[in-house]
Structure 1
Amino acid sequence: MARYMMIMRSTPEAEAAMEEANVDFNEIIASMGRYNEELIKAGVLLAGEGLTGPEEGFVVDFDSDPPVVTDGPYTEAKELFNGFWIIEVSSKEEAKQWAQKIPLGKGVKVEVRRVSETSEFPQDNPWVQKEVQWKAEVAEKIAAKARAEAEQFAR
């Protein structure tokens, strides 16, 4: 099994077309919800999140020392990342099939990249060994947060 990250990228033209089409935001959420549910039922979804708009973000440019931080929005950006999924599937072909099912409109692209596995790095490296431990700790934190959120919804 391999993990793939599907990164949703949108253009200003796609955003304008969406506004012009006057699509109900609840329908967008429902559409994505149905897609996410399909990923969950298939047992391939590991993570997925939408991102806030660029006005809440910033860019760190490492061309100078110290790096320069510029608050969003990013006027020079032609495409913006809007969200992502991480899936675990049996092949690149299966990842392509899932990516093609994402309910997105014209002007939106999804970049799909395989996530490197810890096993691909030298196992005797102390930083690789620490990363394995960090991942276990993060997984525990995420699970605890998810349980807390589930309890809130159950109330």
Structure 2
Amino acid sequence: MKFMVMVKADHNSEAGVMPSQELLAAMGQFNEELVKAGVMLAGEGLHPSSKGARVRFSGTGRSVIDGPFAETKELVAGFWIWRCASLQEAIEWVKRCPNPMLGDSEIEIRQVFEADDFGEAFTPELREQEERLRAQVAGQG
């Protein structure tokens, strides 16, 4: 199973406060453990929402909303993609993570959909297209 593990933003990350050398070192060590265990597939930090945008869809219309976004507690400051046997395994890894923020913080874990989760709606033609696109993306790396 794959999981997206999201580090929630706080007022410091949204203000552009960079992590300390100590936190970067602790996170680097944690990431090394994840890689050695075969858990980590990807992981990145994100710039504050003031440097981002949202695109709102309404029928065929599109509107762009520039950051920053008001609800800091709903924003993501960084993420990992992990491969774990279960949600419980992902939770156990998160519990070992250094606190990613200066104060209280929160990390959210969400399972990523995989092809079999879509059932019959994901036809053989759609599966073939998905596999082809994944191969193309892998080739770009």
TM range (shorter): 0.7 to 0.9
Aligned to 2:66: 71
Count how many residue pairs are aligned between Structure 1 and Structure 2.
135
C-alpha distance after superposition, 1:5-33 (max 9, x if no partner): 10111232x659xx7xxx96222211111
Instruction: Tell me the percent identity.
Output: 36
5 Å matches for 1:34-73? 34-63=29-58, 65-73=60-68
- Could you tell me which amino acid in structure 2 is paired with residue 102 of structure 1? C
* Worse-matched range after superposition: 132-141 or 121-130: 121-130
Asked whether 1:130 is paired with 2:129, we answer: yes
**1:64 CA displacement:** 6.5
Aligned to 1:32: 27
Aligned partner (choices 106, 109, 114) of residue 106 of structure 2? 109
SS in 2 for 1:90: coil
Unaligned runs of 5+ in 1: 143-155
**1:133 CA displacement:** 1.1
SS in 2 for 1:107: coil
Aligned partner (choices 69, 84, 92) of residue 87 of structure 2? 92
TM-score (norm 2): 0.82
8 A contact 1:7–1:84 mirrored in 2? yes
Q: Aligned pair in 2 of structure 1 residues 50, 63: CA closer, same or farther (>3 Å)? A: same
Unaligned runs of 5+ in 2: none
8 A contact 2:13–2:48 mirrored in 1? no
SS in 1 for 2:69: coil
**1:76 CA displacement:** 4.4
* RMSD over equivalenced CA pairs, Å: 2.3
8 A contact 2:39–2:84 mirrored in 1? yes
C-alpha distance after superposition, 1:107-153 (max 9, x if no partner): 321110111111323353423321111011112222xxxxxxxxxxx
Asked whether 1:8 is paired with 2:3, we answer: no
TM-score (norm 1): 0.76
For 2:72 and 2:88, how far apart are their aligned partners in 1? 30
Q: Over alpha carbons, which structure has the higher Rg?
A: 1
